[in-house]
Amino acid sequence: MAEGENEVRWDGLCSRDSSTRETALEHIRQIVLRKTEYLCSVKETPYRPSEGLSNAVSLDGLNKLLAHLLMLSKRCPFKDVREKSEFILKSVQELGIRIPRPLGHGPSRFIPEQEILQVGSEDAQMHALFADSFAALGRLDNITLVMVFHPQYLESFLKTQHYLLQMDGPLPLHYRHYIGIMAAARHQCSYLVNLHVNDFLHVGGDPKWLNGLENAPQKLQNLGELNKVLAHRPWLITKEHIEGLLKAEEHSWSLAELVHAVVLLTHYHSLASFTFGCGISPEIHCDGGHTFRSPSVSNYCICDIANGNHNVDEMQVNSAGNVSVSDSFFEVEALMEKMKQLQECRDEEEASQEEMASRFEIEKRESMFVFSSDDEEVTPARDVSRHFEDTSYGYKDFSRHGMHVPTFRVQDYCWEDHGYSLVNRLYPDVGQLIDEKFHIAYNLTYNTMAMHKDVDTSMLRRAIWNYIHCMFGIRYDDYDYGEINQLLDRSFKVYIKTVVCTPEKVTKRMYDSFWRQFKHSEKVHVNLLLIEARMQAELLYALRAITRYMT
């Protein structure tokens, strides 16, 4: 009776056709009740040691099904599925079996649940977006529910991710999810690792590969070095890295495969930044997202403790670190005044090229000394660290220890003129999708700043984007880097650098300490800028190396 969860087909629940969903739900109900009745009968029979293990496996299998149903009852965009899932859970509970309950408070540990759109209360346009996402992935994940603050961006993001993972492309489906696992693991992002382990198995991936990178094919193992350098020090990528992958005899990558892999790696490194930057909670049906225990004081996620996000931390911040409303109001006013002054200076005089170059070097040097007081090593858990090699390798500023990395000048190699066409040539349509996503994130505005309306925020958005590229050694000749210090205060720079370079170290304290008067939707908007600027920076270094190899 120790049947696995594999006998249950969840695919029917993703259908737009209600009768298909009804048939699938009835099938699931019968399997769950059969397992429940079996376990109830076992409880009433005398204990036989030989059956103990089998019964434990049966209970574990049932618990996984119940956790999945709990997720559907809270997160499925189709009302019939939500209601029927809840009905099945109640039926199981009435038979005397303990059912799970959600752990935590909504999709983000940083954003109050009541400020996030509740599934079931969305409008028709949003419902269509949710239904598309659910149909593609079989879930409506917490990342989607936080990104939904910005529907235009979310639509572009989901379209790109769907194309990368599920549409025709150079790499087989299981390779794509495995590369997602490798990339997310580099930042110890167990949230993304867990999701893609499930997806990898769902598309027929070999479970042995999940025991550690050394169990995966040599071809994927060879990608480990590029994954490592791209995630932590992309400015070190050379054409030799590319050559090593393309000329590995029977384990060689084709150029098209490599571009697909590079886009996936950069996508998941950036998505790890978003996951930590917005305090994304574990999915309801994954470890840390639900509990079968009764409520207790200590019910917060292990990752909360690791990231300094547990209750004690919050109480300390609230009692000692609170800033008065008038102080944070003044912060917004001061920022708007600086934007106005900078605009006036721009209109009056333009700095010389030498002065602009000098300001870039100053900002680049200063960015090395931005680090957080919480800056301590985070030891990766074994279930995540087995998916990558060289666990001690991490972010290091590019000018440390006498190393001099030449400035990457955008007029010599840029996304618009070089990267975009290379990606589109080797992996058709993806360049177009990524380009659209970059543009939406960069240009997204509602012309608001905290409580102010009709504000031109382009100067602020450009400062954030260019600061990130500056940290990666990338320079725009036409930008005055003196603006960055005027517009981005220290706590904001700490947050930006942590999210982009060492996202696993982000804490709720950091999130709370910048832009204190701004809305959560505006802080999510900042994170969209951070992840897209980071992805573009990584892509520029990788694609430039591929171009150098090809010429």
pLDDT digits (tens, 9 = 90+) for 453-478: 999 999 999 999 999 999 999 999 98
Question: Which pLDDT does position 314 carry in this prediction?
Answer: 39
Cα(22)–Cα(7) distance, integer angstroms: 17
Burial degree of 459 (CB within 10 A; 0-12, 13-18, 19+):
middle
Confidence category of residue 308, pLDDT binned at 50, 70, 90: very low
Cα(176)–Cα(500) distance, integer angstroms: 23
What are 409's strand-pairing partners? 475
Two structure tokens written together for 425: 């040539």
Please give the average per-residue pLDDT across 415-440, as a whole number: 95
Q: What is the DSSP pairing of strand 101-102 with strand 290-291?
A: antiparallel
Burial degree of 81 (CB within 10 A; 0-12, 13-18, 19+):
buried
Name the phi and psi angles at 514, rounded to 5. Answer: -105, 150
Given a cut of 50, is residue 539 above it in pLDDT? yes
Share of the chain above pLDDT 70, in %: 83
What pLDDT, in 10s, does the model give residues 325-339? 556 668 888 898 898
Question: Which pLDDT does position 205 carry in this prediction?
Answer: 96
CA neighbor of 351 nearest in space, from 245, 533, 479: 479
The answer to whether residues 545 and 239 touch, using CB atoms and an 8 Å cutoff, is yes
Two structure tokens written together for 422: 């290379």
Cα(257)–Cα(169) distance, integer angstroms: 8
The answer to whether residues 188 and 381 touch, using CB atoms and an 8 Å cutoff, is yes
Please give the average per-residue pLDDT across 203-228, as a whole number: 95
Residue 379 identity: T
Cα(161)–Cα(441) distance, integer angstroms: 15
Question: What is residue 10's three-state secondary structure?
Answer: coil
- In this structure, of 55-69, 326-340, 394-408, 508-522, the range with the lowest mean pLDDT score is 394-408
Please give the average per-residue pLDDT across 432-454, as a whole number: 94
Task: List Cβ neighbours of 339 (8 Å cut-off, separation of 6 or more).
Answer: 459, 460, 487
Catalytic entry in 14, 76, 189, 303: 189
CA neighbor of 194 nearest in space, from 10, 71, 292: 71
What pLDDT, in 10s, does the model give residues 31-77? 999 999 888 887 666 555 555 556 677 788 899 999 999 999 999 99
Please indicate whether residue 432 or residue 321 has the higher confidence score (pLDDT). 432
CA neighbor of 109 nearest in space, from 539, 510, 453: 510
CA atoms within 13 A on the CB side of 171: 27
Task: List Cβ neighbours of 98 (8 Å cut-off, separation of 6 or more).
Answer: 292
Given a cut of 90, is residue 6 above it in pLDDT? no
Cα(188)–Cα(276) distance, integer angstroms: 10
Given a cut of 70, is residue 4 above it in pLDDT? no
CA neighbor of 504 nearest in space, from 174, 266, 342, 274: 274
Question: Which pLDDT does position 204 carry in this prediction?
Answer: 94
Question: Which pLDDT does position 346 carry in this prediction?
Answer: 76
Mean per-residue pLDDT over the chain, rounded: 86
Two structure tokens written together for 388: 């990558």
Given a cut of 50, is residue 298 above it in pLDDT? no
189 is a catalytic site residue: yes
Cα(430)–Cα(264) distance, integer angstroms: 11
Helical axes 239-246 vs 224-232, angle rounded to 10°: 160
Tell me, what DSSP letter sits at residue 223?
T
Two structure tokens written together for 65: 């099904």
Q: What is the DSSP pairing of strand 452-453 with strand 474-475?
A: unpaired
Cα(146)–Cα(136) distance, integer angstroms: 18
CA neighbor of 299 nearest in space, from 102, 99, 106, 141: 102
Task: List Cβ neighbours of 61 (8 Å cut-off, separation of 6 or more).
Answer: 2, 3, 4, 5, 35
